[in-house]
Amino acid sequence: MDERIKKARKALGWSQGELARRMYVSQPSVAAWESGSKAPHTKNLMRLATLLGVSFEWLSTGRGKMQPAIEQPEPVADYAMRPDEWRLLGIYARLKPLQRTALLGFLEAMERV
């Protein structure tokens, strides 16, 4: 599990400190998870999977795919979503309602610039 946590964190370009901040734990806790000297509690493992955008099964056991399947909606006309758009939707789906509102407000303001 230690290598999978590290792999998923690095795929996002996060430091151990950044992951710790987002997990509301200390950086030494993340270091211990990644060194294999300690395993995260189940509740932290579930939150880790969500934050890192990986499947719980892969993170906890190594089985299955690293990233959960994202159901693709019916295409609108001939428009196919680009990978960065799917990534944005994945991030949006993991945000809390207040964060979603703030993000939408920011994007709408950017659209007017």
Domains of the chain: which residue ranges? 2-61, 83-112
pLDDT tens-digit series, residues 16-60? 999 998 888 999 999 999 999 998 988 788 888 888 888 888 998
As a whole number of angstroms, the distance between CA 63 and CA 58 comes to 5
Structure confidence by residue, pLDDT tens digits, 61-99? 988 888 765 554 555 555 566 788 888 888 888 888 888
What are the CA-CA distances from residue 14 to residues 7, 21, 27, 51 (Å)?
Answer: 10, 10, 12, 11
* CATH (residue range 2-61): 1.10.260.40
